[in-house]
Structure 1
Amino acid sequence: MLFVVFFYAMNTPTVKIVQREKDINREIVYAGRFIIIELSAGVSLYQGMRNLSRHFPKVGPYFADIVNRIDLGTPIDEAITEAIDISPSGDFRKLMWQVMNSIKTGADISVALSGVIDQITREQRIAVEEYSRRLNPLAMFYMLIAIILPSIGIIMFIIISSFLSLSFGLPVLLLFAGLLGFLQYMFLAIIRSRRPAVEL
């Protein structure tokens, strides 16, 4: 039990980082399109990032941090670089690298963002297709381990116990139910963890 608690405590930061990365990746495509729309409407990049920070709860704080650094006098490219360094999301870094490169080269930011958003969208589509391919064998394995085998096992257990004149009370039945519930929870957790960070 202590080992389980220790293992959980040691992995909590990693789990939170991975979860934050997934949360950002779910919003990053829409956030990029939001900036493109803002720029197309004649809004400055600074104001577009400020507006974005108010509409997206997960990726917004990173843009709010960029805006705050700019307000404190940090050059925009340095502010973006610092945000890239602290973000756990690879998609966020791709997006902001394109913004920073466009600023340095004087290229059209909207065009650069459109290209990287298309790339991220393709990668997300591939991730969804791979997830659907992995889901079928996982579902079959789940049905076998968590439904079929426990049902057959309980029936065989009842038959054998009746032949051997064994009697089992409520605690034993509750133990079986708890083990079965834990097994199903683990399978569902595995399936949920494999789900790609895509907002459909």
Structure 2
Amino acid sequence: MIPFSLLPEPALMSFGKRFKGLGKRVSNSFPYLRVNLVQANMSYKPEEYCTGVITATIINFFVIAALILLLTKVNGTLDPLFAAALATLIAVFSFSMGMMHPAAKAKKRIRQIDDHLIPAIRQMYIEVKSGVTLFEGMKSIGRGYGGVSEEFAKITKSIEVGIPETNALNQASSRNPSARFRRVVWQISNSLVVGSDIANTLKELVDNMTQERMSDIKKYGAELNPFIMMYMMFAIVLPSLGISLMNVMLSFVNIPIPKIFFPIALFGLAGFQLFFLGFVSSKRPSVE
């Protein structure tokens, strides 16, 4: 799905055929777009995705410009230059976010996969250790473990249609954005090639990933202190003391504070807190 598109995807792609050449030229400026699309599990060719983003950007520009012109005309302050400038700003933002969307989606997949990787591989280890074949062990984690289940479901489906296990594992490794998942798949594939004990390999993987997770938790705990100081400064000290000091200073020169300032400051503070909570949450390692 193309982000920030006001049209349904079929209509967007149909309308965007006239920009196909431009989309191809733009895709050449983003050499990692193909990899990002594959790792984000998005079924677009780079030129198709760029064409969709460009088309959505152009449509957004004209729609936003028309809405601003309509609103300013109703208020009696028609300003085409202001409408064009604001619409251009929104269009640039739309294009930038659209081009960054595959990489952002790939990073989201990394978190979804890494969060469930340890319990999934632990279950596979228990299955294989108890005498179940590797294929059945991979099939057993084909549901219940988020992104990990999706990947292993694809692997087992490939094996069922006749692809050798090592080839199916290597294909999963090439399309996956998670370095930890790729390492797991590579070590399983390597064990199959050299004929070593799969159960021992899985146990070592679980132990190593558990140690890495503990290190991530300790690192996160150490990073919280500067985050807390940043929050105290920008969300508590600066809004309270800063506004009070500004009010006192402006009173000396007899300059009133505009009434619109306080609602803007309130919304800005709320936006910062939402951003800060999202940022800290994104840094938090999984403890599953």
Fold match (TM-score > 0.5): yes
Aligned partners of 1:50 and 1:63 also within 8 Å: yes
Asked if 1:99 is matched to 2:201, the reply is no
**1:52 is matched with which residue?**
141
**In structure 2, how many angstroms separate the alpha carbons of the residues matched to 1:17 and 1:25?**
12
Asked if 1:136 is matched to 2:136, the reply is no
**In structure 1, how many angstroms separate the alpha carbons of the residues matched to 2:194 and 2:277?**
48
**2:258 is matched with which residue?**
168
Aligned partners of 2:155 and 2:168 also within 8 Å: yes
Asked if 1:199 is matched to 2:277, the reply is no
Query: Which shows bigger deviation, 155-164 or 57-66?
Result: 155-164
Structure 2 residue corresponding to 1:21, chosen from 72, 93, 110: 110
**In structure 1, how many angstroms separate the alpha carbons of the residues matched to 2:230 and 2:131?**
54
SS in 2 for 1:74: coil
Asked if 1:90 is matched to 2:197, the reply is no
TM-score, normalisation: structure 1: 0.90
Q: What aligned pairs does 1:6-85 form with structure 2 within 5 A after superposition? A: 6-85=95-174
**2:203 is matched with which residue?**
114
How far is the alpha carbon of 1:112 from its aligned partner?
0.8
> Aligned-residue CA RMSD in angstroms?
1.8
**In structure 1, how many angstroms separate the alpha carbons of the residues matched to 2:145 and 2:274?**
31
Structure 2 CA distance for partners of 1:13 and 1:38, relative to 1, 3 Å: same
Aligned partners of 2:125 and 2:199 also within 8 Å: yes
How far is the alpha carbon of 1:18 from its aligned partner?
0.6
How far is the alpha carbon of 1:143 from its aligned partner?
0.6
How far is the alpha carbon of 1:189 from its aligned partner?
2.9
TM-score, normalisation: structure 2: 0.64
How far is the alpha carbon of 1:84 from its aligned partner?
0.9
**In structure 2, how many angstroms separate the alpha carbons of the residues matched to 1:134 and 1:68?**
42
How far is the alpha carbon of 1:93 from its aligned partner?
1.3
List per-residue Cα deviations over 1:117-163 (Å, max 9, x = no partner).
21111112112111111111111111111211111122223334555
List per-residue Cα deviations over 1:79-125 (Å, max 9, x = no partner).
11111111111111111122112212221111011112211111121
Seq. identity, %: 32
**In structure 2, how many angstroms separate the alpha carbons of the residues matched to 1:185 and 1:32?**
35
**2:236 is matched with which residue?**
147
Structure 2 residue corresponding to 1:183, chosen from 272, 276, 287: 272
Q: Which runs of 5+ in 1 are unaligned?
A: none
Structure 2 residue corresponding to 1:125, chosen from 210, 214, 219: 214
Aligned partners of 1:27 and 1:199 also within 8 Å: no
**In structure 2, how many angstroms separate the alpha carbons of the residues matched to 1:57 and 1:199?**
15
Aligned partners of 1:95 and 1:117 also within 8 Å: no
SS in 2 for 1:63: helix
Q: Which amino acid aligns with 1:10?
A: M
* Structure with bigger RCO (C-alpha 8 Å, 6+ apart): 1
How far is the alpha carbon of 1:165 from its aligned partner?
6.2
